[in-house]
Structure 1
Amino acid sequence: MKKIYLLLLINLTLCLPRVVFGQASTDTVVTLKQCIEFALRNQPAVRQAAIDEQINEKDVKIGLAGWLPQLSSSGEYEHYFKGSVPVAFSTGTTSTTTGQTVAAPNLDEYSSLGLQASQVIYNSDVLLAAKTANYSRLYYKQNTLSSQINVLSDVSKAFFDVLLSQKQLDILNEDIVRLQRSLKDSYSKYQAGTADKTDYKQATIALNNSIASRKQTTESIKAKLAYLKQIMGVKAGTTLTLAYDSAHYESEAYIDTNQQLDYNKRIEYQQLQTTKTLQNINVSYYKWQFLPSVSAIGAYSLNYISSKFSSLYNNDYPSGYYGLTLSFPIFQGTKRLQNLSKARLQSSRADIDIENSQNTINTEYVQALASYKSNYTNWEILKQNVDLAKDVYKVVSLQYREGIKTYLDVIVAQSDLRTAELNYYNALFQLLSSKIDLEKALGTLTPQSN
């Protein structure tokens, strides 16, 4: 019975990879570039930033609308009680059409239709809108670009994370095939009486461990794919299969580490510089408020006066004028002085933000550069370990079949090979992620560069 059970176990493990991985995939195959392009169009943060940019454009146009002529119309109707006729009507009114004069006591119906126009010549509010328009647009464009850079970085890292797990899965599948072969060889030796039964039991244990690891890795890929789809803006029900070329990514892992850090290339620093400019304009705005506001005005109206409503609109009395208005607030309880002082403090605070940003950017650069160099060295060394581990495994496996080496030596060699391969790909994708961090720290990571 034990032999039958063991044979069934061997056949099951031999067939298991075909059952699990023999199904045809119908998923959409996408590359890293396609993932990034899709995310830049559909990721919620990027879409929100684009909407914020459009909202700001509307605010700019609303502010600049104050420079355009302002037109308004008005109309009114009034009925005066007996004995309450305005003094203005007390001398009577002469009709422009009939030449007759209407007595004041009978003028108890009044109406007017008018058109008013004004044009700002100088006003601190509309001047502020004109001065800040371009810088406000620039700030929100920078905000959109910042969102795109963050999405580019996050999608790239998530993509590499999924690829790492998929490579780990491939390595585990290869390891399982080798373990199945070893299990078959050790069991054959046991049946032939040339090996102890502990060999095939150790092989079974190792095989079961690898199968369990494969299941864990398979499930982790699902979770990592879900996160990738989330930051891409892909619907939850969409299936994705990632396409990659290890040789391509190996060539993409290199970056010039002699590049000099330039703060002005960082989008965060650019945003702070724009904010500083807006703060300076705000200081000037509160200075401008000490100047008077000047506007050109004009109006034209038709007045109607009658003793009866039925004949109110038979005759009209036009009037019109144009001129200038000057408004100069003399004292506002030190409000303007306090606002000016506040704006200067905000400008000083922006200077400190810029100074602190320089220190932060420098730290990020130093950390990213150190991480990249460390990962690059690690990757170069581990790449050699894979070739060495393959050669060792081939030799030890052959010597075991010839009875020179023990099965323990095979297990150790196989474990070393699997570890070397896992470490190599882990180092490769860590290197690619650290390259993304270094490019971001240098300010060279932009949507146009990918």
Structure 2
Amino acid sequence: MRTVFISLILICFLNGKTVGQESPLSNYIEEGLDNNLVLQQKNLSLQRAMNALQVAKSMYLPAIDLDVAYTHAKGGRSINLPVGDMLNPVYNTLNALTQSQAFPQIQNETINFLPQNYYDAKVRTIVPLINTDITHNKQIKTDAVRLQESEVGIYKRELIKEIKEAYYQYLSALQVEGIYESSLDLAHEGLRANQKLLDAGKGLPAYIVRAKAEIAQIESQRAEAEKNIKNSALYFNALLNRAADAFIERDSTLFLEQNQSLQDGSEIDVSQREELLAIQAGIAMQESVLQMNKQYLVPKVSGFLDLGSQAEGLKFNQDSRYFMVGLTLSMPLFQGNRNRLKMEETKIDLAESWNRKAQAEQQLRVAAQAARNDVLAALKNYEKSKVQLEAASTYQRLIQRGYREGVNSYIETIDARNQYTSAKLSVNLSQLQVLAALAKLERESATFQIP
């Protein structure tokens, strides 16, 4: 078959599913989206933005507050009222005329400006009647939520790509270890064969030394492969926020061969990339700020209602109770052209954002096309590596048979085995490159359906 993995990979990886049932990789992706620490932090930021939006919406509702004030003072400024001096002569005359004491004498009064044993308790209700800032602020917070959602989506896609690449790397490392294990078995078999020939007087001691050196080299390579397995498993489990030694299930279906064509030269649509949506949300926020700045001359009108009681001596009766209603209006008259300058600054920010969006669209489009080219190149390299592996396998069998028949030397068998091992490693690396290239293409084209 000339096209390897493509149908399965296009269906499984570009659509995020496996054929028939969910693969271990799909479960690991879901686990990573649930448990990744960085993603959890970004979700918290999203919740904060959504809470800020709810606060902005609540600004339309009335605000009701309870205000209670109690004061008691002595001294300070005062005013003298000579009521006794003014009224006592009159009272004396009236008492003389009536031959009674019906009009007693009164003292002059001194009244302090500061109240004594005085309270004022009220419930104040304030309702915004005209305030364009509230509407614009709500829209800004709405766009802020969209921006944060896009940021979460960006990291999710990047995390999915990282999880896939780490999983492929782990499976590839396991295959490399298996290749070295197989090569080591062949090397041991070669050592036993040469030892038998030497014991029978037909072999050479140099072949024994060479066989042992080959075994030592392969064991060193196997140790390196074991280290790579541990490191790749460590990184993979860290992405999923799991224990470092957590078991990783293997998925053998990733390397199945299917038939599908990827020779589509049409331009990949990147308009729904979260990066562009984030920039668009930022532009919408700036446009709302600009509209808010343009309406700075619109007056802000609020209505208020006070229901309360105030009196000295903590009295509460019909005379102490009161209500008050009113309107407040606020609008700027002169602020040194600050509002006009703010509008100009926002317009410049908008122009920069539109330019940044155009640049991002161009870069994302180029990156998507390059990712598709990488997939096609990786598939071609894989096909070539398969041909090389088939040739190396045939060559190794012929040399091994020739060595048993005395036609080829032992050195030639070692060379044939090395070529065969290198060819298998090349196939393994090509498989990894195909899977990694497809994960990158999926990331650049944003085709994975994020749950």
Q: Shorter-chain TM-score category?
A: 0.7 to 0.9
Contact preservation (8 Å) 1:71, 1:115: yes
Contact preservation (8 Å) 2:309, 2:316: no
Name the Cα RMSD after superposition. 2.5
Deviating above 6 A after TM superposition, structure 1's stretches of 4 or more consecutive aligned residues are: none
2:103 paired residue number: none
Secondary structure (helix, strand or coil) at the match of 1:125 reads helix
2:86 paired residue number: none
- In the alignment, is residue 378 of structure 1 matched against residue 381 of structure 2? yes
Contact preservation (8 Å) 1:385, 1:420: yes
1:228 paired residue number: 236
Contact preservation (8 Å) 2:157, 2:446: no
- In the alignment, is residue 75 of structure 1 matched against residue 83 of structure 2? no
Which whole-Å deviations, capped at 9, do the CAs of 1:19-72 have from their partners, x for residues lacking one? xxxxxxxxxxx9322221111111112111111111111111222221110111
- Cα distance, 1:278 vs. partner? 1.3
Contact preservation (8 Å) 1:109, 1:312: no
Within the candidate set 349, 361, 365, 2:364 is matched to 361
Contact preservation (8 Å) 2:121, 2:309: yes
1:212 paired residue number: 220
1:116 paired residue number: 124
Rounded to whole Å, the distance in 2 between the matches of 1:318 and 1:247 is 81
- In the alignment, is residue 324 of structure 1 matched against residue 327 of structure 2? yes
1:165 paired residue number: 173
- In the alignment, is residue 336 of structure 1 matched against residue 336 of structure 2? no
Name the TM-score, length of structure 2 as normaliser.
0.82
- Cα distance, 1:293 vs. partner? 0.5
Which whole-Å deviations, capped at 9, do the CAs of 1:227-280 have from their partners, x for residues lacking one? 1122222233x4223412156454499756445222212211121111111111
Q: What 5-or-longer segments of structure 2 have no aligned partner?
A: 1-22, 84-107
1:266 paired residue number: 273
2:28 paired residue number: 35
Identity score, percent: 17
Rounded to whole Å, the distance in 1 between the matches of 2:402 and 2:450 is 54
Rounded to whole Å, the distance in 2 between the matches of 1:239 and 1:331 is 67
Q: Quick one: structure 1 residues 46 and 192, their matched pair in 2 at CA, closer, same or farther if it must change by over 3 Å?
A: same
Secondary structure (helix, strand or coil) at the match of 2:328 reads strand
1:389 paired residue number: 392
Which whole-Å deviations, capped at 9, do the CAs of 1:272-305 have from their partners, x for residues lacking one? 1111111111111111222111112111221213
- Cα distance, 1:409 vs. partner? 1.6
1:136 paired residue number: 144
Within the candidate set 437, 441, 444, 1:438 is matched to 441
- In the alignment, is residue 276 of structure 1 matched against residue 272 of structure 2? no
Contact preservation (8 Å) 2:237, 2:246: no
1:418 paired residue number: 421
Equivalenced residues, count: 400
Greater mean alpha carbon deviation, residues 188-197 or residues 142-151: 188-197
- Cα distance, 1:166 vs. partner? 1.0
Name the TM-score, length of structure 1 as normaliser.
0.83
Q: Quick one: structure 1 residues 253 and 273, their matched pair in 2 at CA, closer, same or farther if it must change by over 3 Å?
A: farther
Q: Quick one: structure 1 residues 252 and 123, their matched pair in 2 at CA, closer, same or farther if it must change by over 3 Å?
A: farther
Q: Quick one: structure 1 residues 336 and 235, their matched pair in 2 at CA, closer, same or farther if it must change by over 3 Å?
A: farther
Secondary structure (helix, strand or coil) at the match of 2:118 reads strand
- Cα distance, 1:84 vs. partner? 4.7
